[in-house]
Amino acid sequence: MLNSIRDALPPVHREGWPYLAVTGALAILFIFVFPPLYWVLSILFGWMVVFFRDPVRIVPTAPGLVVSPADGRVEPIARVIPPPELGLGANRLSRVSIFMNVFDCHINRTPIAGRVSRIAYKAGKFLSADLDKASEANERNGLVIAADAGHDVGVVQIAGLVARRIVCWTKEGAALGAGERIGMIRFGSRVDVYLPEGSTIVASAGQRAIAGETLIAVLPGAHLSPPFPTRRE
């Protein structure tokens, strides 16, 4: 029974603990000072528990699979020149973007297994993250992951209208397994994935994606068919 409750209620990531502590303490204080504000803070506390949740994911681990780096809505697939700081060249690449609203889980995960060959932060604006121009204008943090199959995949965390803090937990040179946690964005944002030429995209615009679980593309040269091996992450 206890295990079932734990599975149904994912833990809160440590990034959320300070926010919950402050909000919870203020809520308790206002029970005695101004009860109406207690209810407002209690609702805010509940939302933060949802926002900072960190559920376990079942990650497909077959080589060549590209999984979603974020929970959220898949935006229209585009062919664009990747951000220059990624060093992926000046040719257009396929970009899959995942938009996270303020109720989505905001833990970001690596879409592929590989080595982090580059991390590049760029300051910028805070336009609404569901706008296409947010990929170019907004504050962002980009990673290039050299996949085990020999292809480079770009992953860009992009701040949004409300998001004012991009957090990256990995570093250059780190070896990552598919679906490993690499960071988060507070609060409401998007993550772009730039795929090497010849990749097969299987995600579609409007689809709901789950970080670490939803297959969004297959890298060039990979010949795969389900069922795939998986790992709890």
Active site residues: 189
Q: Are 212 and 57 in contact (CB under 8 A)?
A: yes
Listed in sequence order, the DSSP H helices in the chain are 2-8, 17-33, 35-51, 134-137
Measure the CA angle with vertex 132, ends 129 and 138; round to 5°.
Answer: 50
CA pair distance 192, 190, nearest whole angstrom? 7
Question: 127 by DSSP, 3-state: which?
Answer: coil
Q: Are 66 and 112 in contact (CB under 8 A)?
A: yes
